[in-house]
Amino acid sequence: MCYRHYNFALDFLSKLCLSEKFSDVSFKCGEQSIPAHKTILAASSPFFENELFSEANKEKTEFHFDCKPEIFEYVLRYIYTDLLSNLCLNEKFSDVHFKCGDHSVPAHKTILAASSPFFEDALLSEENKEKTEINLDCKPEVFEYVLRYIYTGKMNVEDLSDNDVIGLFTLIQKMQLPRLLNAVTKRMNTIEMSVENVGLMYEPAVETKSNI
């Protein structure tokens, strides 16, 4: 069974679009300054990739556009609602990696931080904002399922073994993703519990903050 949560991706994208929160670039259109996010824009077109990440421009945080602000805002709304799934598990423009055993999973801080309070603290707090690698005690395919949910709003829990579903259940509780938790709980209800898999529910999925 494939659970779809399209509203999740749209909900948190709407928080990002035209929001100062997590923004790392602004565009001046006349007197108005419009906040945006480099990773999302650069992934949307070669134009923005060159403007934002070329050697000459990569340190710039403000750009001037000769257009009406409402026109540029319209473009941003289109970009933010059309693009997100293309970034999932993509090394391009990634600025953080999650280590799951020997496997390194790429991601994008702005997108994850907007998805839950856990990621906001783990990636953008004063203590952690310079870190580019986080260790997770889980199978890479389990964490990749979480990322697919965040980036696309889709989740097929039937592809996972019972033990992986339990690992996923533990992980998303820590990551504070309540909508995904509801979907996984339905799958959990089909699992015949044993001493072994109950124990899996209490294994730590994320290393302590001092190690993040």
Which of 58-72, 87-101, 151-165, 187-201 shows the lowest per-residue confidence on average (mean pLDDT)? 187-201
Contact 22, 111 (CB under 8 A): no
pLDDT at position 193: 67
Residue whose C-alpha is closest to residue 143's, from 186, 207, 99: 99
Domains of the chain: 8-87 (3.30.710.10), 96-209 (3.30.710.10)
- Whole-model pTM: value is 0.74
Per-residue pLDDT tens digits for 40-76? 899 888 999 999 999 999 999 999 999 999 999 999 9
Does 171 score more than 60 pLDDT?
yes
More confident residue, 209 or 11: 11
Q: Give the pLDDT band (50/70/90) at residue 205.
A: very low
Q: Give the pLDDT band (50/70/90) at residue 147.
A: very high
Paired tokens of 161: 């073994």
pLDDT at position 2: 45
Residue 166 to residue 185: CA distance in whole angstroms: 9
Which of 29-33, 165-169, 189-193, 201-205 shows the lowest per-residue confidence on average (mean pLDDT)? 201-205
Q: Give the pLDDT band (50/70/90) at residue 153.
A: confident
Average pLDDT, the chain: 84
Which of 70-74, 157-161, 202-206 shows the lowest per-residue confidence on average (mean pLDDT)? 202-206
Mean pLDDT of 74-79: 88
Buried b (16+ CB within 10 A) or exposed e, 153-191: bbbebeebebebbbbbbbbbbebebeebeebbeebbeee
